Structure 1
């Protein structure tokens, strides 16, 4: 048994490049999926911690009565069990500018706690605090005087309202214009109380962004409405506040991308693993025959290759999960700061999507390895000791088109015969390049539509760079995957053609001619993959836009189609250049006697 275990390590040692490339491909796939799936939880958990600290209200109750809540109504609300209530005065106006005034008791501010960024809270009737400046809210300085209702007020503090965390500020309730000033006054007993912040005690430990949160709040609103039985009341949830609605809308779109992209990403990775393991088992036919001759049963032989494949998977998945949980979510979180006032980033991580993908990947690798290995170990040892006979040459379709075929030089005739002679190799390379190209095309298309504004409650808002940077991440990871896929496929192609390469060298071909002979096929097959990959990428993008309910195919710029092809072909050429050394190192003597 010890000897058999040693052969497993020897297998890994003898196939280091395959082992590393497989692990890297799995790592890139899992890292991308984990990172993409962790963006929304990272943002929502960070905001949830901030809203929990501020004790943000679950229900915002407003009265249509211009005189505000009556004393009886206030007492009725305070008598209701399992809720905490805080009353404030809030008015919007559009006379000179889009303005909101809020009057509250700063000393007893328990619900929706306002955070003082600079200065102090008002201590007299002639002092006021202002909301922090943003893209729409004007910047005010401490010591500055503001005139309101012909009275001059001194700015003594800058406030951060936990319910306003978008750079676009908030919306005026009168005309849906963007507020440019929000003033915070100390509570005045002469002013009517127009708004009640209600905190549901049953939701104290419930996330503000949990899927069922708004539904639970709406259920409580129905109960509360029946108890109060007042038609002058307007019940609002956080969903009706602009900032909360904006972030949930953005998060929903990122979640769709996080589900759609990984499906195709993992499919490409699984395809490459199938190709790699098929080639590995084919290379080890003689070793498998030796095992069978020594009396090892099929299960023991199968275990060796399952261990090899799962070792690759375990390494790639582990590093992918760890790196994916931190890299992409943290980068996108900082990008979100360009459109949101975000709190300190949470230490919580979410790898749910990564784990699901890892399980799927792990199972797929085991099944693929089982399938390709079982096909070989069913053969008799005598057959396994013999290399598979090369495929016989056949007349290809192009040969029947005489006026084209007759004008081709020998090297191109040889190239096209080889391409269509090995249909399995052709299909694997085409599908691998197709998948990688489709992901790049989808990423570039997503980048094009990311600059479009989104509409929330009839108001258009700029998404800034949130979706744009997600699309950039998708493009980068797709290109990295393309490099690894092409390297893996080309490396295998060279390895399985050592005898052919050696024959060409013996016949007098120079190194650059041999390289051209091999890479000419790879590039032409890859071009087929690119041509098919671009429409496939558009299809992926169409499905994403359909689920997003956002953007259209007409938004994709013409340069994106061109850039997709250029990027993929460029990386293919770079990989081919890196593998020239491998072709030059092919030993003619060893390669030509390998079948004897």
Structure 2
């Protein structure tokens, strides 16, 4: 082995701690950078693989008049389309009279395939397979029976549960969609033999396109192509709807046609009788007049029947893509939030790691200047000498980066997916992030090899004699504290030495502060992510909205039936009427869809249900102009005084001036006073919504109230804020594993960084420390000689880290905001306390390790002259 190579291995052996520390820092930085960046795509790819294995349809089509074989053929006219008509309806049943989505099971079903988790598929007409959620949430068991309501229209009312399963069109275990029966919420789905549903035709048409299966279901390429397919399908079904309506009307109107024929004949006979009476010179008698009235009434009744039949047989379609399925968009929002976090947090994490690594390598090469001088004096070339240190740096960088990349890519995403319990069982599919790994590797080598190259080049520019001598110490200067005489005279000798050393080596001081501040900021960001995401719903429903339920009235200005039911409920407190309209908000070149415009009937009462505010300033609805939520202002770059155009889904367009921007974290809302509404739309707003305040209710009590409101046709739908709060908290809890990983790895990096910086400090000052030991300083005093400055820098670093952590959290949350949710920047006091205690704990551990190391300093070896 060549002398240079031997020297490199001896250097590694003599300073194992430093070599391992460099590897660990690079490993942690790369692990977080690659692992978290792979988590978002891993979640999307895993779901994409799962739904493709289960053959999830690309388009779902619902019809008011059902589907026939002709509809299947119509759909399959589109290139690559595979259509499948199935029977489906929502019914009431189960232990608590829940709304259940009931599907007809056939062995030929190719799309949206049912995957059994336990039990078996139906083998007889009296057997049923339930949703896995029915088992976990509603505690159904194999062998139990489930009973449906009489009006469910099934062949039998009671069926035996023989299995539990999942289907890909319900990916979120927390929601199964909405309905207009029961309490307005579907609780779980079930599969029965198709004949048991007793439907004359299929009610759901699933359409799948083979050409689309090569695209990821969440990619823009897929969304663009599926939109084009839907447009083509709508064009074909536009004519099909007319044909279907006409056919059904003709079939159903045969009895009415017979009645019309009879009625026409009766009219003709009456006309003939009237003419005969007139011909004989007689006036129309009372009998003929009565007959005429009866015939007119009969005709009117027949016309109404024909109109009702025409309405009943009119074919209307409801189009859905995968994005419209329950939980599908929420899942993507969650993965997008993780991806947004991954665009900021790991980068900051890796920058801290790279910065400390750069410093470590630089110090290592500077310490070896006497060796470099010796090798140069012995005749070794610059490249041969540089290769020694570059190889050292390359080994540390490559080992750390490769291990970190592999561990990060193959563990973190899988941990996140395995803990992502809000979804159906996912088939884990995590691609190796080659571009991200390549970028991390470049950063790692830049921090290690780049640092070594810069310093070695600088050292090699000096002459051998200069290199073999110790670097001249910096000239002593008075520090700022010395100029404050009363303070300086009160300090002990040890304190004066510590402060002089602290300000004498400014680069070391700055690097230590950056390391500690970075670690504190990372820890604080982790705790802040937990607090902010988890506190979104509570902030919205405690500080902004104060109502407990929203009721969509069945008919405008007819709140009396709903209010009658509400007032009979012991939990009712108060209610106010308002107009609610959903539409598009447009400005120059930009628009935002699904904006809800609220106009209260009574402006004065509205503040008890919704608080409008900007910072600490409370707002009131102005007489003129529109109040928009901050989400609208951010998305469309709007401010007070700008003009926007609101186009409701039904109704006229209005251009309105913005009067104020209000805080709002969930949903996209805009507000008008009744006077401002009349000015904008030139009409009085109708009342179609009730804002209701209720005392605390259990889930069962809320369901009972919703049942009454829907059963008595008082409302079209009911939405409880408690349900939304639970859903958002559950969704937020899915990010807890990611946040816990952030905190754990941030803590580990903080510890390694602090240890490494202290280790560098000790190694640089080994002769100085040996000198004071020789002078008679005790071990504790020698340790405090180093640690006193560390304590001060730790305090400064923690304080700086508070500000950096808040700024980093604010930036991450801004990136993680979705179309419907903005996250408030929240760091509760336990987060500050935990981050502070962790950094103090790390400092204490490093103190202990340093103390033991200083006890075993070889003073004679350290004080030997280099001359």
Q: Does 1:573 align with 2:819?
A: no
CA distance in 2, matches of 1:423, 1:417: 10
Query: What are the ranges of 5 or more consecutive residues in structure 1 without an aligned counterpart?
Result: none
- Indicate if the aligned counterparts of 2:131 and 2:165 stay in contact, CA closer than 8 A: yes
**Superimposed CA distance per residue, residues 515-537 of structure 1 (whole angstroms, 9 cap, x where no aligned partner):** 11111111211221111111101
Helix, strand or coil at the partner of 1:86: strand
Q: Distance in 2 between matches of 1:409 and 1:445?
A: 41
Tell me: CA distance 1:476–1:237, structure 2 relative to 1, closer, same or farther (3 Å). same
Q: 1:355 to 1:342 in 2, by over 3 A?
A: farther
Q: How far apart, in 2, do the equivalents of 1:486 and 1:229 lie?
A: 69
Matches within 5 A, 1:519-538: 519-538=787-806
Cα deviation, residue 127, structure 1 = 4.3
Structure 1 partner of 2:187: 180
Q: Secondary structure at the match of 2:102?
A: strand
CA contact (8 A) 2:397 2:449 kept: no
Alpha-carbon offset, residue 163 of structure 1: 1.7
- Give the Å deviation of 1:94: 7.3
User: CA–CA distance in 1 between the matches of 2:179 and 2:477?
Assistant: 76
User: What is the aligned counterpart of 1:356 among 426, 439, 449?
Assistant: 439
Q: Does 1:495 align with 2:763?
A: yes
Cα deviation per residue 1:188-218 (whole Å; 9 max; x = unaligned)? 4743322211110102333334453223222
SS class of match (2:170): coil
Aligned match of 2:408 in 314, 324, 330? 324
Pick the aligned partner of 1:169 from 164, 170, 175. Answer: 175
Quick one: distance in 2 between partners of 1:471 and 1:370? 37
Task: Give the 3 Å change call, closer, same or farther, for CA 425–538 of structure 1 in structure 2.
Answer: same
Correspondence for 2:158: 153
**Contact 1:33-1:357 at 8 Å conserved across structures:** yes
How far apart, CA to CA, are the structure 2 residues paired with 1:10 and 1:374?
22
Look up the match of 2:83: 85
2:782 corresponds in structure 1 to 514
User: Are 1:98 and 1:177, in contact at CA under 8 Å, matched by a contact in 2?
Assistant: no
- Indicate whether 1:336 and 2:337 are aligned: no
What corresponds to 2:25 in structure 1? 25
Q: Could you tell me how far 1:26 is from its partner in structure 2? A: 0.9
Q: In the aligned structure 1, how far is the partner of 2:175 from the partner of 2:145?
A: 21
1:113 and 2:113 correspond: yes
Question: Which string of whole-angstrom CA distances, capped at 9 and with x for unpartnered residues, describes residues 545-588 of structure 1?
Answer: 11112565553202212221221111111112012122112222
Q: Give the match for residue 236 of structure 1.
A: 320
CA distance in 2, matches of 1:244, 1:142: 32
Indicate whether 1:425 and 2:508 are aligned.
yes
Kindly tell me the number of residue pairs found equivalent between the two proteins: 593
Query: CA 1:191–1:124 in 2, change beyond 3 Å: closer, same or farther?
Result: farther
Give the number of the structure whose residues are more often strand, by fraction. Answer: 2
For 2:829 and 2:430, locate their aligned partners in 1 and report how far apart those are by CA, in whole Å. Answer: 42
The CA distance in 2 between the partners of 1:13 and 1:123, in whole Å, is: 71
- TM-aligned CA distance change 1:75 to 1:211, over 3 Å: closer
1:448 aligns with 2:531: yes
Change (3 A) 1:239 1:529: same
Does the 8 Å contact 1:449/1:556 carry over to 2? yes
User: Does the CA-based 8 Å contact 1:452-1:463 persist in structure 2?
Assistant: no
Question: What is the TM-score of this pair, normalised by structure 1?
Answer: 0.92
- Rounded Cα–Cα distance in structure 2 between residues aligned with 1:332 and 1:542: 23
* Gap regions ≥5 residues in structure 2: 242-315, 538-665, 669-718
Q: Partner of 2:744 in structure 1?
A: 476
* Residues 142 and 156 in structure 1, CA contact (< 8 A), matched pair in contact too: yes
Q: Provide the C-alpha distance between the structure 1 equivalents of 2:841 and 2:173, rounded to a whole number of angstroms.
A: 40
Cα distance between partner residues in 2 of 1:551 and 1:402 = 53
CA distance in 2, matches of 1:211, 1:357: 27
Q: Distance in 2 between matches of 1:347 and 1:438?
A: 29
Instruction: Indicate the SS of the match to 1:419.
Output: helix
Q: Are 2:536 and 2:823, in contact at CA under 8 Å, matched by a contact in 1?
A: no
Q: What do the CA deviations read for 1:46-69 (whole angstroms, capped 9, x no partner)?
A: 333332221111111223xx2223
**Partner SS, residue 158 of structure 2:** strand
Q: Hey, what does 2:618 align to over in structure 1?
A: none
CA distance in 2, matches of 1:456, 1:201: 36
Q: Is the 8 A contact 1:136 1:167 kept in 2?
A: no
**1:414 aligned to 490, 497, 503, which one?**
497
Q: Which of these two proteins has the greater Rg computed from alpha carbons?
A: 2
Which stretch of the first structure deviates more once superposed, 369-378 or 217-226?
217-226
Cα deviation for residue 493 of structure 1 reads 0.8
The 8 Å contact of residues 97 and 180 in structure 1, kept in 2 or not, is answered as: no
Q: Which deviates more, 570-579 or 145-154?
A: 145-154
Decide which of 59, 73, 76 is 1:75's aligned counterpart.
73
Name the structure, 1 or 2, with higher relative contact order (CA <8 Å, separation 6+): 1
Contact kept, 8 Å, 2:54 with 2:168, in 1: the verdict is yes
Work out which of the residue numbers 802, 817, 835 in structure 2 matches 1:564. 835
CA contact (8 A) 1:138 1:180 kept: no
1:112-143, CA deviations, whole angstroms, 9 ceiling, x for partnerless residues?
11123444444555543322225766635434
| Range with greater deviation from structure 2 (182-191 or 312-321) | 182-191
SS in 2 for 1:68: strand
Match of 2:385 among 292, 301, 304: 301
| Aligned-CA RMSD value | 2.7
Q: Contact 2:41/2:430 (CA < 8 Å) preserved in 1?
A: no
- 8 Å Cα contact 2:75/2:207 also seen in 1: no
Secondary structure class of the residue paired with 1:81: coil
